[in-house]
């Protein structure tokens, strides 16, 4: 359980995080989504006390992170896959981290096995690929068997098999009742992994809701209609709040009127309908709609 209240972080004149409050609940995967530079990493660093908030506070399981007797048992954090000395072996890195809390070498071997690092554990971290670095970061986060897990861009640099592994892993941890807080700028990944989303843009919370609600709320419903009298139907549908796109011969994509309304209209006018399919919006569309005004660095569309 993570609770942030009125969290603000300024670096000089630049405001990275502007007065955000949120709660990350146990038993589900909470996604932390936002464009680059939105303040996701800064927020996560403030949770574990690496950055000091300019104002506001954040607590984990009821206390500030640093006030816990055994912080690594409360929170496991993967904040930066390269937060490891490159000259040390993976095993020694984990052993040193574990030693602070009196965690033994047997647990170190467990997390190495858990993350599939057996073959490289005795190699120095400097030679690790980004993907192996991510696995080592996850292994370090799991050392204390924490009830809360904070993962900043965990699938970054992982191969498809690794991405799938992280997805199943965090879903399993959430099912055990743990609090999982996961950041990503990949909407597709979030749609598959998260139950709840907190969307951040320019340091402010744009949305804080279950994934399904965000998808439903972020876009207007679209319906695919197939009819032999498509052009007649299109004329009947013409209204200021309804948009009709002729995608192919005999097919219409209607935005602004539900499937039932289209069916009723066709029946009243004696038009045949061959297909009437509500198109579910993707999280990506919802996300783009939400963050359209909040993107820090926008690129011109390719012409």
Partner 1 sequence: MTTITPQQAHPAQRTRSTSLTFGGVLRSEWIKLRSLRSTTWSYLIVVAISLGMALIMSLSMASGMGGGLDVGAAPADQQAQFLLQASVFGVYFGQLVAGVLGVLVISGEYSTGMIRSTLTAVPKRLPALAAKAVVLFVATFVVGLVANLAAFGVSSAVFAGHGVSASLADPAVILPLLGGALYLALVSVFALGVGTMLRSSAGGIAAVLGLILLLPTVLAMIPAEWAQDLVPYLLSSAGMNMFTSTTAGPSGDALGVWVNLLIVLGWVAASVAGAATLLKRRDA
Q: Which is nearer to partner 1, 121 or 262 (CB)?
A: 121
Q: Does 50 interact with partner 1 (rule: CB under 8 A)?
A: yes
Q: Tell me how far apart the alpha carbons of residues 81 and 92 are, in angstroms, rounded to a whole number.
A: 16
DSSP assignment of 199-224 = EEETTEEEEEEEHHHHHHHHS--EEE
Range in contact with partner 1 (rule: CB under 8 A) among 74-82, 184-192, 223-231, 255-263: 74-82
**From the CB of 144, what's the least distance to partner 1, in Å?**
8
Q: Can you tell me which residue has the tokens 């908030």?
A: 53
* H-run or E-run covering 27: none
Q: Does 160 interact with partner 1 (rule: CB under 8 A)?
A: no
Q: Does 122 interact with partner 1 (rule: CB under 8 A)?
A: no
Q: Which is nearer to partner 1, 99 or 292 (CB)?
A: 99
C-alpha gyration radius of the chain: 24
Q: Does 140 interact with partner 1 (rule: CB under 8 A)?
A: yes
Q: Tell me how far apart the alpha carbons of residues 134 and 136 are, in angstroms, rounded to a whole number.
A: 5
**From the CB of 294, what's the least distance to partner 1, in Å?**
24
Binder of partner 1 out of 36, 55, 57, 86 (CB under 8 A): 86
Q: Does 56 interact with partner 1 (rule: CB under 8 A)?
A: no
142, 146, 151, 156: CA torsion to nearest 10: 20
Measured distance between the N- and C-terminal CA atoms of the chain, rounded to whole angstroms: 46
Q: Which residues in this chain contact partner 1 in the complex, by CB under 8 A?
A: 26, 45, 48-52, 61, 65-66, 69-73, 77, 79-80, 82-89, 92-93, 95-103, 114, 140, 144-147, 165, 168-169, 172, 175-178
């Amino acid at each position: 359980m993570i609770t942030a209240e009125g969290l603000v972080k300024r670096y000089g004149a630049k405001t990275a995080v502007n007065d955000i409050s949120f709660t990350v609940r146990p038993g589900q995967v909470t996604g932390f989504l936002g464009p680059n530079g939105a303040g996701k990493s800064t927020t996560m660093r403030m949770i574990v006390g690496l950055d000091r908030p300019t104002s506001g506070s954040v607590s984990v399981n009821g206390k500030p992170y640093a006030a816990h007797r055994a912080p690594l048992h409360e929170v496991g954090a993967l904040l930066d896959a390269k937060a490891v000395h490159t000259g040390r072996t993976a095993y020694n890195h984990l052993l040193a981290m574990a030693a602070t809390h009196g965690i033994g070498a047997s647990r170190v071997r467990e997390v190495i096995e858990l993350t599939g690092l057996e073959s490289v554990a005795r190699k120095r971290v400097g030679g690790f690929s980004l993907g192996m670095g991510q696995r080592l970061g996850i292994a370090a986060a799991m050392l204390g068997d924490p009830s809360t897990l904070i993962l900043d861009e965990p699938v970054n640099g992982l191969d498809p098999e690794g991405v799938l592994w992280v997805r199943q892993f965090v879903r399993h941890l959430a099912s055990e009742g743990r609090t999982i807080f996961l950041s990503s700028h990949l909407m597709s990944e979030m749609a598959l992994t998260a139950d709840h989303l907190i969307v951040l843009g320019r340091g402010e919370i744009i949305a804080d809701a279950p994934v399904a609600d965000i998808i439903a709320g972020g876009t207007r419903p679209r319906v695919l209609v197939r009819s032999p009298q498509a052009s007649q139907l299109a004329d009947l549908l013409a209204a200021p709040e309804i948009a009709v796109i002729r995608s192919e011969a005999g097919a219409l994509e209607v935005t602004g009127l539900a499937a039932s309304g289209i069916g009723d209209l066709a029946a009243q006018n004696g038009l045949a309908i061959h297909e009437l399919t509500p198109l579910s919006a993707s999280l990506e569309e919802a996300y783009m709609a939400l963050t359209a005004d909040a993107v820090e660095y926008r690129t011109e569309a390719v012409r």
